[in-house]
Amino acid sequence: MAKNHSSKRKKKWIRGPCIGTGTHATIFLATNTENGKKFAVKSADRGNVIERLSLEVERRLLKACRSPYVIKYLGCDSTDRVKEMHGRSTFNLLIELVPRGSIMDHINRNGRSLPEEIVAAYTRDILLGLSYLHSHGIIHGDVKADNCLIGRDNIKLCDFGAGKFLADEDFVLEPRTRLGEDVNRIFTTGTPGWMAPEVEDEVEQRSPSDIYSLGCTVVEMCTGEPPFQDQFLDFSSNLRNGYSEECSEFIDLCLRENPRERPDAQELLEHVWFTRPFVYPVAKHARSRPESVTKRSTQPRCKQHHPSSSTGFVNTCCKIFSCGVSY
């Protein structure tokens, strides 16, 4: 009888506090017991078919990626029973830790839309990530500010649970289809509001669908609010003061209704919007906090590590990194 080596092998890391939750997994801080390095662990209930399958799809996609614009895959394992997950058996995906959180966390912390130079810099990095994925036949499937992490040097795409290999759809789609039509739709459509028309109509989901979602994400950064189609389909004609015509034109290109008329990621990287020189802005902008947010906030914020907006991670950040700095 085959042995379950993953459960017999001594685990070389310990689970820390919860730092985030997703649709199908819980994210924990973890520490390597051999070298003390910290990383993130996405844990899913092995007894929940949907959770386990979503994390397995993400594992397979991340394992195939080698790009600074994609969250780094560190490995996976499983545990039979752990107290931190209420005694449940879990499947664990080990990924790099990005303490600054997501672009959405950035927006929430500042309580407003982002300046155009920040939006352009973040958008360029997302495009570089999408260009890499699409050139390797990978679809992200759920591009939005929540799934774009602010790394030390650039944005990193994360949360590939709705992704797929274009050349290997049987692996991603067939097992899900066996679970039923409703379950299959959960995995393959992404998030309503960022969803391309062809995906919403269940026609197809390919690389142009990611481009449409990117356009929604740019609107999200420009408005500081979740995108809703009725509000932003005519976004360019109601663009807020402070955003250029080049920005508006870029959004229009991404949001073309016909997926075959949308430029691909590489073409969009050559758009005039990106011709102006700029530097990755996180160090400068992430530390600025508008007065309204400062007055409203009652929780200390770590200036150095920029944790996610969840209260749990805010409270544990300075203890973990011993920075002792707050706004």
Residue-wise pLDDT tens digits, 186-231? 455 688 889 898 888 777 889 999 999 999 999 999 988 888 645 5
> 230: which residues sit within 8 A by CB, 6+ positions away?
none
- Do 112 and 243 reside in the same domain of the chain? yes
- Do 37 and 141 reside in the same domain of the chain? no
DSSP tag of 194: S
> Does residue 310 lie in a domain region?
yes
225: left (phi over 0), alpha (psi -120 to 50) or beta: beta
Judge whether 42 is annotated as a binding position.
yes
- Do 73 and 145 reside in the same domain of the chain? no
pLDDT of residue 54: 87
pLDDT of residue 37: 96
- Do 87 and 222 reside in the same domain of the chain? no
> Does residue 123 lie in a domain region?
yes
- Angle (CA) 212-281-93 rounded to 5° is 60
- Among 71-80, 189-198, 278-287, 314-323, which is the least confidently predicted range? 314-323
Print the domain residue range for 260.
Answer: 103-283
Q: What is the mean pLDDT of the chain?
A: 76
Tokens encoding 19: 């730092």
Tokens encoding 158: 């994360």
DSSP tag of 269: T
- Do 84 and 110 reside in the same domain of the chain? no
On whether the CB atoms of residues 250 and 273 are closer than 8 A, the answer is yes
pLDDT at 173 over 70: no
**Catalytic: which of 142, 146, 159, 210?**
142
> Does residue 246 lie in a domain region?
yes
- Do 274 and 306 reside in the same domain of the chain? no
d(CA 114, CA 102): 13
d(CA 184, CA 46): 18
CA atoms within 13 A on the CB side of 181: 1
Which among 62, 95, 128 is the end of a domain?
Answer: 95
- Angle (CA) 218-260-237 rounded to 5° is 40
d(CA 300, CA 244): 35
Please state the domain count of the chain: 3
We report the CATH number of the domain holding residue 268 as 1.10.510.10
pLDDT at 23 over 80: no
On whether the CB atoms of residues 89 and 45 are closer than 8 A, the answer is yes
Which among 95, 118, 136 is the end of a domain?
Answer: 95
Catalytic, 142? Answer: yes
- Among 90-94, 233-237, 253-257, which is the least confidently predicted range? 233-237
pLDDT at 170 over 70: no
User: Percent of the chain beyond pLDDT 90?
Assistant: 50
d(CA 78, CA 92): 6
284: left (phi over 0), alpha (psi -120 to 50) or beta: alpha
314 vs 177, which has greater pLDDT? 177
- Among 166-170, 188-192, 254-258, which is the least confidently predicted range? 166-170
Instruction: Pick the closest to residue 79 from 21, 36, 30 (CA basis).
Output: 30
d(CA 96, CA 167): 27
d(CA 284, CA 29): 26
We report the CATH number of the domain holding residue 77 as 3.30.200.20
271 vs 238, which has greater pLDDT? 271
Residue-wise pLDDT tens digits, 76-129? 998 764 444 555 688 999 999 999 999 999 999 888 889 999 999 999 999 999
- Do 300 and 276 reside in the same domain of the chain? no
Which residues face 28 on adjacent strands? 18, 41
Instruction: State CA 211 to chain mean position distance.
Output: 15
